[in-house]
């Protein structure tokens, strides 16, 4: 599979990147599903908690005598049948996240990118520096790539802060570094834009 490398003006450079997709063809969508499930499970706090009978501050004195009142027997004021009493089988703090192999996570990302490539939703750009951290420069780039009104994800190197500053006011655009790349950003974007060096690093292309 070949991917053309584009200039910042949208024209082709005449160079391309090759991807060996033999190992990815055998994989299934279940890998992506598990990684997305793991990501959302890790976002859950699981901090909801209700107090049980033994955790409530209150008197332990018996409200009424055991027999002779004509009513049912009752314990103390912390009894769950009373208002402000303890809660029976209430929620407790819980961890929802589960672990996946590190190589499994990387494979899920590559597989999702591979599916995007098959649908022509991945662009590779020749690396360039922004002279100024201005939003109109990013808008100009999006316009030359004919990707206006699309959910975009630009994956850049960690050191380039100008891209972060210039793109933070655009609602349909996310700019992240390769270290922050996760399955949710990949799945939630219509088009992916990689810099050449970043794509090579991710797929280990020399």
pLDDT in tens, 91-103: 999 999 999 998 8
As given in the structure block, the two tokens for residue 109 are: 């990302």
Q: What percent of the chain has pLDDT over 70?
A: 96
Predicted local confidence at residue 26, as pLDDT:
61
pLDDT surpassing 90 at residue 191? yes
pLDDT surpassing 90 at residue 190? yes
Number of H helices, E strands in the chain: 7, 6
**Residue 126 contacts residue 144 (beta carbons within 8 Å):** no
End-to-end CA distance of the chain: 15
Q: CA-CA distance, 116 to 98, in Å (whole number)?
A: 27
As given in the structure block, the two tokens for residue 39 are: 């990501």
DSSP type of residue 78: T
pLDDT surpassing 80 at residue 129? no
pLDDT surpassing 70 at residue 137? yes
> In terms of pLDDT, which residue wins out, 138 or 25?
138
Q: In what order do the strands lie in the sheet with 191-195?
A: 12-18, 2-6, 122-125, 191-195, 152-156, 173-177
Predicted local confidence at residue 25, as pLDDT:
61
Mean pLDDT of 33-58: 92
């Amino acid at each position: 599979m070949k991917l053309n490398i584009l200039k910042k003006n949208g024209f082709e450079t005449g160079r391309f990147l090759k991807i060996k997709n033999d190992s990815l063809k055998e994989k299934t969508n279940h890998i992506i599903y598990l990684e997305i499930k793991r990501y959302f499970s890790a976002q859950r706090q699981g901090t909801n908690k209700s107090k049980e009978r033994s955790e409530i501050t209150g008197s332990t004195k018996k409200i009424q005598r055991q027999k002779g009142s004509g009513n049912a027997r009752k314990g103390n004021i912390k009894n769950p049948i009373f208002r402000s009493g303890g809660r029976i089988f209430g929620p407790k703090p819980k961890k929802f996240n589960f672990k996946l192999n590190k190589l499994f996570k990387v494979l899920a990302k590559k597989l999702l990118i591979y599916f995007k490539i098959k649908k022509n939703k991945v662009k590779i750009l020749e690396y360039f520096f922004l002279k100024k951290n201005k939003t109109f420069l990013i808008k100009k780039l999006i316009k030359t790539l004919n990707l206006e009104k699309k959910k975009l994800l630009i994956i850049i190197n960690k050191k380039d802060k100008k891209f972060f500053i210039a793109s933070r006011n655009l609602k349909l655009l996310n700019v992240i570094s390769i270290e922050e790349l996760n399955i949710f950003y990949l799945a939630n974007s219509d088009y992916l834009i990689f810099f050449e060096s970043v794509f090579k690093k991710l797929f280990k292309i020399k």
